[in-house]
Amino acid sequence: MAVTRDDVAHIAGLARLAISDDRMTELAEQLNAILGHMEVLQQVDTRHVETTAQEGNEALPLRPDAGPRFAMHRRLDEMAPEMRDGFFLVPRLATHEDTSDAS
């Protein structure tokens, strides 16, 4: 399951990371080296194993969707790069550029 430069470009897109061309090859090599060490897992017989994210303890209880409220000591607009009227402002979607040009 070798990772190619194209794979790195694909997963970088999924992860919203811009990877420069000169780093692409190095990262593909590193991911291949790391994943090479993971191959050993394929030899383990796990046909009868049941999994949960964390088992053997009580740390995954169900609770109502609404948790308790907690105090916010700072306003959102003190932290956000850009806000207006209680909304976060972001750059326009590239696909909307044509519409805005027309208006």
Partner 1 sequence: MTGLTAVDAVTASFARMEAVRAGADGLNCVLWSDRERSLAEARAVDARAERAPLAGYPVAVKDNIATLDLPTTCASRILEGYVSPYEATVVSRLRAAGSVVLCKTNCDEFAMGSSNENSAYGPVRNPIDTRRVPGGSSGGSAAAVAAGIARIALGSETGGSVRQPAAFCGVVGVKPTYGRVSRFGLVAFASSLDQVGVLGRTVDDAALGMEVIAGRDPYDSTSADRPVPGYRDGAARSMRGVTIGRPVEYFPTSLDPRVTALCDRALDALRAQGAQVRDISLPHTDLAIPVYYIIAPAEASSNLARFDGVRYGLRVTGDDGLRAMYERTRSRGFGPEVTRRVLLGTYVLSAGYYDAYYKKAQEVRACITDDFRRAFASGVDVIFTPTTPTPAFELGATSDPYEMYLNDIFTCTGNLAGVPAMSIPVGRVDGLPIGGQLITRHFDESGMFAAAYALERALGEEAHR
Give the residues lining the site for partner 1 (CB under 8 A). 1, 3, 7-8, 10-12, 14-19, 27, 30-31, 33-35, 37-38, 40-42, 44, 46, 49-61, 63, 67-68, 70-76, 79-82, 88, 90-94, 97
**How far apart, in whole angstroms, are the C-alpha atoms of residue 69 and residue 30?**
44
Tell me the C-alpha to C-alpha distance, in Å, between residue 65 and each of 1, 9, 52.
Answer: 40, 37, 21
- Eight-class DSSP state of 1: -
Whichever of 38 and 102 has its CB closer to partner 1, that residue is: 38
Whichever of 44 and 102 has its CB closer to partner 1, that residue is: 44
* Smallest distance, partner 1 to C-beta of residue 103, A: 17
Tokens for 27?
């990262």
* Smallest distance, partner 1 to C-beta of residue 64, A: 10
Q: At what angle do helices 21-38 and 5-14 cross, to 10 degrees?
A: 90
* Smallest distance, partner 1 to C-beta of residue 75, A: 8
